[in-house]
A = this chain, B = another copy of it.
Amino acid sequence: MIPVQDALEIILKEIKPLGTETVGILDALGRVISEDVFAKRPNPPWDNSAMDGYALHTADIAGAGKENPATLTVIYDLPAGQVPKAVVARGQAVRIMTGAPVPDGADAVVMVEATKSPEAGKVKIFASARAGENIRKCGEDFKQNDTVITKGSVIRPAEISMLATIGCPLVSVFKRPVVSVLSTGDELVDINEVPGKGKITNSNGYALSALVSEAGAKFIRLGIAKDTKEDLTAKLKEAINADAIITSGGVSVGDYDFVKDVLKGLGSDMIFWKVALKPGKPLAFGVIQGKPAFGLPGNPISSMVAFEQFVRPSLLKMSGRNDIFRQCISASLDKDIKVKPGRMTFLRAELTSTDGGFIATALDGQGSGVISTMVRANSYIIIPADSEGFKKGAIVKCQPFDSSVLSGTNTSY
């Protein structure tokens, strides 16, 4: 058996980011940017008002207050979207809206709430101001040619806001991997069929496709390969048209030689491992005609755990991501956990956020075929290979596999 970390390292060495493509920024949400983005222009593009109010000379309102307002002459109104008509001279003010360019001469804006207009063309200012007050300076967000988004960033609404601000309707992103998903085994029937005795539905084909989607890649479902050399060879030849190949089943002791023969026939150097991972021990990996191929175990939970640990980081790396690993969160165990040492064990768990930190509950029903436990879980508890478990209250590493831990039914303000 080889350690999980070693298998992962060997696999990731073979994985390279795919090429790039240009897409509209609203199609780029969740994609990975493939080059640094520089600002074509500064932001703000010019000094502008942060408030609705009056642009003026601070020297004209020095010492002004509630009891002793300064009175200025309003020379014009300046709505957002228009340009200043004239320089502001001493004793003058311009009625300015949020976002409008600050006219030359003025060195501050006093917000409208601190003013009163006693007659047309006049304004009383009931406060003093310091120079620059309520003025957003040109370039205070970023300057022309600043790097505003770095290569490898995931494009979120914030990045789209940035791209729109600097006038980039299109953006270069890494291509999304296209992944063939193939299930193997004579016991499998499609989910539309009622399985006879001895048969089960091809749930892995769907679960693995969903995991591929969830990793931001595209799946091609190739259905079920029968346990014959001919069928498996034909299906794998189709599968090679994608950027990566995932199979499930056919990698445990009994199937080993058969699948190995087929893969050799396709010119691949597959490595078959017993990985020190529970669930998910049997694993095959290789590169077939330049495409990474992952042979996952057939048990539903084993294949999902192996996907999470080996395939997901690989697909994210192909997608240009830097943060390709699920981040572990420390949590306090709410009951004792006992495991057989020897393999890194992934227990399906419920991770709950509390004011005192995270609590981890290992769920009942950890068999590698027990899907209901996966439905109830939002995280794995990771037990190191040399550990026999932990006591209640121990701090353990949890690997959330969905973002439900970041959502709640209360505002929690």
A residues within 8 Å of B by Cβ? 4-5, 8, 25-26, 29, 43-46, 50, 52, 79-83, 97-101, 112-113, 136, 140-142, 146, 148-149, 153-154, 156-169, 185-188, 191-211, 213-214, 219, 221, 227, 252-254, 298-300, 304, 321-330, 344, 353, 355-357, 365, 367-372, 374-375, 377, 382, 384, 397, 400, 402-413
Contact = CB atoms under 8 A, between A and B. Distances in A.
Please provide the 6 A-B residue pairs with the shortest distance between their CB atoms, ordered closest to farther: A81-B187, A161-B207, A81-B186, A164-B203, A323-B407, A164-B206
A326 B158 CA distance: 17
A331 B407 CA distance: 16
Nearest to A111: B253
A375 to B, nearest CB: 5
Contact of A99 (B45, B298, B330): B298
A328 B412 contact: yes
B405 A327 contact: yes
B46 A197 contact: yes
Most buried by B among A149, A210, A298: A210
A100 B29 contact: no
Contacts of A219: 26
28 contacts: A5-B411, A44-B200, A45-B195, A79-B227, A81-B187, A82-B187, A82-B198, A83-B198, A101-B197, A140-B367, A141-B365, A141-B370, A154-B402, A154-B404, A156-B210, A156-B214, A157-B211, A158-B377, A161-B210, A161-B304, A165-B203, A165-B300, A167-B192, A167-B194, A167-B195, A323-B404, A344-B413, A397-B413
A211 B326 CA distance: 23
Contacts of A344: 413
Contacts of A370: 140-141
A185 B329 contact: no
A26 B210 contact: yes
Contacts of A403: 403, 406
A50 B79 CA distance: 74
